[in-house]
Amino acid sequence: MPKTVGVAVSNATFHFDKLYTYAVMPDQQEAVRLGSMVLVPFGRGSRARMGVVLACDEEPEHAKLKYLFDVAPASACLTPELLRLVHFLKERTFCTYYEAVKAVIPYGAQYKPALAADGVTPVLQKQLTRHTENSYKLVGTLQQKPKPTAKQLAAVALLSGGERTQNEMEAHGITKAVLDNLCAKGVVECSKVNKSIDLYSSIPLKNEPITLTAQQQAAYDALLPGLEDTAPHSALLYGVTGSGKTLVFLKLIERCLALGRRALVLVPEISLTPQMILRLKSRFGRRVAVQHSALNHTERLLQWQMIQDGGADIVVGTRSAVFAPLESIGLVIIDEEQEHTYRSESAPRYAAQEVARQRAAENGSLLLLASATPSTESFYAAQNGRTQLVRLTQRYGGNPLPSVQIVDMRAELASGNPREISLAMEDAIRRNLDAGRQTILLLNRRGYQTMAQCDDCREVLKCPKCSVPMVYHKAGHKLLCHYCGTQLDPPPKTCPACGGKLLYRGFGTQKAEEELAQLFPEARVLRMDQDSTAAKDAHEKLLARFARHEYDIMVGTQMVAKGLDFEDVTLVGVLGIDSLLFAQGFRAYETVFSLITQVVGRSGRAKDPGFAIIQTTDPDNPVLNLAAAQDYDAFFEQEIAYRKLGLYPPFCGLCVVGFSGPKEIEVARAAARFSALLGRQAAQQPDLPLRVLGPTPGNIEKINENYRYKLTIKCRADKRFRDLVRQTLGLYEQEKLPSKATVVVDMHSDGDI
């Protein structure tokens, strides 16, 4: 029972993010432990701040210590493993302790400062209180005098059949007032219970034995030793699209559970969770928990508590599920491991892979990365024997990979077709429709028209707050900024710069939907993008309807490209991804290659062979052609040579330091100052390999009224380098610059900040 504790507080700046010592009142000592959430008086005014206990029985720094205001109950304490992850995140990602705390536990499990009933005493309050509900049970008999009301009699009759929640009672027309009254009489007792929700409970159990193909079995056999022993291992399952990687996962999970251990399965985006949950739940039943951001706070918290209470053997979810409080993990699977969604773009800026690797090391688990297009870094590690490499080279059922045709859209325009859908594409879609098959079309732009340009001065209409073009959305008839949400309603007809006529151009998913409806009036078209899937569970419902063949064509952004498995899809079309061919950042080629290979891979996965068409204005583009050939090995050879020549990961670490603020000159000055400080620190360690590029303006120069600059540092991403950055951050914060830019350090950026 600690008498003093070291607390990391919320809203600390990097430089002041250290442990502050507090005294613990005797009546709090029982509750306080490492990982406790606490409320502390902070600073001169002793304002209440959230904090987390990271040390116990610290030596007091001052004779007179302040006391903790309040301590959250022990059930809200971080587990030892989560605590270690907090330290890990702080050391790896330059976040503050409290930012790390907020990342490892979901919002619903967090606490916030509040005032006690007296209106003055600071106390902790749960962020979420609605996750419990009242439950009533009969504990006495109802007196006949005064004469009971009909409702009271009905309530007692219901409860004589067993305990019931308030919700259930209300469904029978019995109000809380009636129940309160019965409680006051001592007839009924009320208690708080966790709301019970069994997400996806309607999924039927289907426990047919899995028969792996010879190649899948060989992969499984190769991976098994790493799963069965208790030392950490890592492996890369490199399997072409449709080769049945998921079946290998299922078999491994089955074995993992049989060994009495647990499994964590990560998927790159929310749209893929329903399918994975379906496969896991139908196989393993109820002990599957879900963690992703499309759950509401209550659902998320209840699932989290189920994991924490040991009620889940399998956790499936997106990036943040890597922090699930699952114990004795035997297997961590990261599906489509190359996806950028595994890298967090806000503090803490971690990559799910590095956290997973850490947890695998702590738990002695097998970390299995899987993909049809592994990241260049992972494949390189596998080639060099640092990770085990396991291959699946054939599609299940023996289907060949889809054959792919590239259509030159410049020639298309020259030949007089004004549409964005080429004649070849139109033809193929029609044939597919006639054959009663389904089609998936990819277009990486949402909205209707993606740009408004002045006919006179050629100026593109940009967002007033960001340096990006505004996008026309037909629903609502307005222009929208996809970065800050600014709207122009109604859309202007003339150029704000010169008064010339604005021409609306470009092709977004909404327009594609419209063109498809004109070309194929009989077809049922589903649009999948951020706008059409904003409602809760919309993803899941729409995909389920597509799976039931209630639609013939699905057109959408990247969310239709990955992981989906529909047996009737035999045609995939890429309507447009050209902007990606010319994107910046050292991972640009890899991203395009992977996206195209993945989307093409949605075609012809079951009985019938598949076909794909790619529309482009750059038909000779080498990356595009390698992707069309689905030749990962050739792509990798080319990519790794480029990375080596240009000195990019995996041949060095890449650290991007981003600066932003409302005054451009100050942001530029801050970046220059940081660069100078870094240079000065680095000069003391001349043997440290380091190459600093910049400062340069960010690729997008302004977002939401904030100007952006960046420094790109090629380095060896090790502790020494991180220490150097940490020192520099500290020095920078101590400097007296007139006004400071916000600084972020990102060790996982692709340079495209």
Residue ranges for the known binding site for Zn(2+) are: 454, 457, 463, 466, 481, 484, 495, 498
Choose the one of Zn ion, ligand ADP, none that binds residue 453, judging by a C-beta under 5 to 8 angstroms depending on kind.
none
User: By the 8 A CB rule, do 32 and 73 touch?
Assistant: no
Residue 661 interacts, among Zn ion, ligand ADP, none and using kind-specific CB cut-offs from 5 to 8 Å, with none
532, 536, 540, 546 alpha-carbon torsion, rounded to 10° = -40
Piece in contact with ligand ADP (CB under 6 A), picked from 75-83, 235-243, 421-429, 621-629: 235-243
- Quickly count: other Cβ atoms within 10 Å of residue 45's Cβ: 7
- In sequence order, the 6+-apart residues with CB closer than 8 A to the CB of 333 are 249, 252, 253, 263, 264, 265, 266, 368, 370
For ligand ADP, the closer of residues 213 and 303 by Cβ is 213
Nearest residue (beta carbon) to ligand ADP: 244
Distance between alpha carbon 752 and the CA centroid of its chain, in Å? 19
Query: Considering only 131-139, 212-220, 647-655, 661-669, which stretch makes contact with ligand ADP by CB under 6 A?
Result: 212-220
Out of 465, 524, 545, 663, the only residue in the binding site for Zn ion (CB under 5 A) is: 465
Q: Letter for the amino acid at 302?
A: L
Helix segments in 364-489, DSSP class H: 376-383, 409-414, 423-434
Q: Is 466 in the site for Zn ion (CB under 5 A)?
A: yes
Tell me the closest approach of the beta carbon of residue 390 to ligand ADP, in angstroms.
12
Stretch that binds ligand ADP, among 106-114, 123-131, 207-215, 456-464 (CB under 6 A): 207-215
Shortest CB 372 distance to ligand ADP, Å: 6
Annotate 194-252 with three-state secondary structure.
Answer: ECCCCCCCCCCCCCCCCCCCHHHHHHHHHHHHHHHCCCCEEEEEEECCCCCHHHHHHHH
Of the residues 106, 108, 244, 653, which one makes contact with ligand ADP according to CB under 6 A: 244
CA distance 536 to 533: 8
How far from 369 is each of 266, 388, 558, CA to CA, in Å? 10, 10, 21
Does 478 interact with Zn ion (rule: CB under 5 A)? Answer: no
CA–CA gap between residue 126 and residue 139 (Å, rounded): 30
- Residues numbered 532-571 forming contacts with ligand ADP, rule: CB under 6 A: 565
User: Contact region for Zn ion (CB under 5 A) — 357-365, 457-465, 672-680, 707-715?
Assistant: 457-465
Q: Which is nearer to Zn ion, 346 or 518 (CB)?
A: 346
Q: Is 241 in the site for ligand ADP (CB under 6 A)?
A: yes
Strands (E), 2-128: 4-9, 20-23, 37-42, 47-56, 70-71, 111-115, 122-126
Residues that contact ligand ADP, how many (by CB under 6 A): 15
State the first-to-last Cα distance of the chain, in angstroms, to the nearest integer.
Answer: 47
Distance CA 567, CA 572 (A): 13
Q: How many residues bind Zn ion (CB under 5 A)?
A: 7
List the one residue out of 594, 706, 586 whose CA is nearest residue 646.
586
Residue 242's binding partner among ligand ADP, Zn ion, none (Cβ under 5 to 8 angstroms by kind) is ligand ADP
- Per partner kind, with CB cut-offs from 5 to 8 A, the member of Zn ion, ligand ADP, none near residue 565 is ligand ADP
Task: Select from Zn ion, ligand ADP, none the partner in contact with residue 244, using the beta carbon and a kind-dependent cut-off of 5 to 8 Å.
Answer: ligand ADP
- Residue placing its CB nearer to ligand ADP in the complex, 253 or 495: 253
Using CB under 6 A, pick the residue from 90, 102, 131, 245 that binds ligand ADP.
245
Closer residue to ligand ADP in complex, CB, 243/432: 243
**Segment holding 541, helix H or strand E:** helix 538-547
188, β-bridge pairs: 138
The interface partner of residue 216, options being Zn ion, ligand ADP, none and the CB cut-off 5 to 8 Å by kind, is: ligand ADP
Which residues 6+ apart lie within 8 Å of 168 measured at CB?
none
Interacting residues with ligand ADP (CB under 6 A): 211-213, 216, 239, 241-247, 396, 565, 605
Interacting residues with Zn ion (CB under 5 A): 463, 465-466, 481, 483-484, 486
